[in-house]
Amino acid sequence: MVEQRAPIIAFVWRPEELIPAVTQMAHRTGSRAIFDVSPLGVEALRPFLRQADPAGQVRDVKISVSTLMDPSLGPWLQETGVQDIWVECQPQSFPGDPAAVLERLRELSETCRCFPIIGDLNFLAAFLRDSSGIGRLVLKGCEASGFVSPDTNYMSNIEY
C-alpha cells in the first residue's frame, strides 16, 4: 500500500462516542478519530458500525489482538471502508511467540494501514527484528519517552 508519510494527531474515542460530530471534527481539523472497539469481535463490529456510522465516515479503529487474528477481519475491512487499524499488542493478549501477530499485521498491511501499539520491550525487540511490510509502530504510554509504565496517555507514532 503506497501512502504519503506525515505526522498524525489522533484522539481515541469510546464506541458510544461514535457520532457524526466527532468524525466531522476530525475531518475539519485534519486530526484522526480512532474508535476503540477492542471489546468487540468482528461479528459484533458488523452491526455496531452499520448502526453507529451509516454514512461510512469511520476510518480508524482500535481492535484487540484476538480480533486482529480473526480470519473474517479482512473482508470486514473491505466492507466498511475502515482504512487504519490500531492494535494494542500486549503480551497477555497472545501467549508465546509474537511471530503470528507480526505475520497477521504484515498480511493486513497489504490492504490497510496497521498501527501496532507496543509497550512491551520483548515484543518491541521482536517487532524491530521482523517487521518488514508493516512500516509503522506506536510506542504506548510513557515508553514513548523512555519510561516504562501502564499509562496510555501518550503515544508516539514511528514510521520507517
- Per-residue model confidence as pLDDT tens for the chain (160 residues): 445 667 788 889 998 898 889 988 998 999 999 999 999 989 998 888 888 888 788 889 999 999 999 999 999 998 888 999 999 988 787 776 788 999 999 999 999 999 999 888 888 888 888 878 888 888 886 545 555 545 444 455 555 5
CA proximity to 40, closest of 60, 14, 59: 14
Residue 4 lies in a domain: no
Residue 3 lies in a domain: no
Residue 136 lies in a domain: yes
CA proximity to 86, closest of 7, 10, 15, 5: 10
CB 11, CB 36: distance < 8 Å: no
Residue 101 lies in a domain: yes
Residue 31 lies in a domain: yes
Q: Report pLDDT digits (tens) over 133-149.
A: 888 888 886 545 555 54
Domain limits at 76? 10-159
Number of domains in the chain: 1
Q: Residue 130 belongs to a domain with what CATH number?
A: 3.20.20.70
Residue 1 lies in a domain: no
| DSSP annotation of 96 | S
Residue 5 lies in a domain: no
Q: Report pLDDT digits (tens) over 53-78.
A: 887 888 899 999 999 999 999 999 98
24, amino acid identity: Q
**Which is it for strands 136-140 and 155-159: parallel, antiparallel or unpaired?**
antiparallel
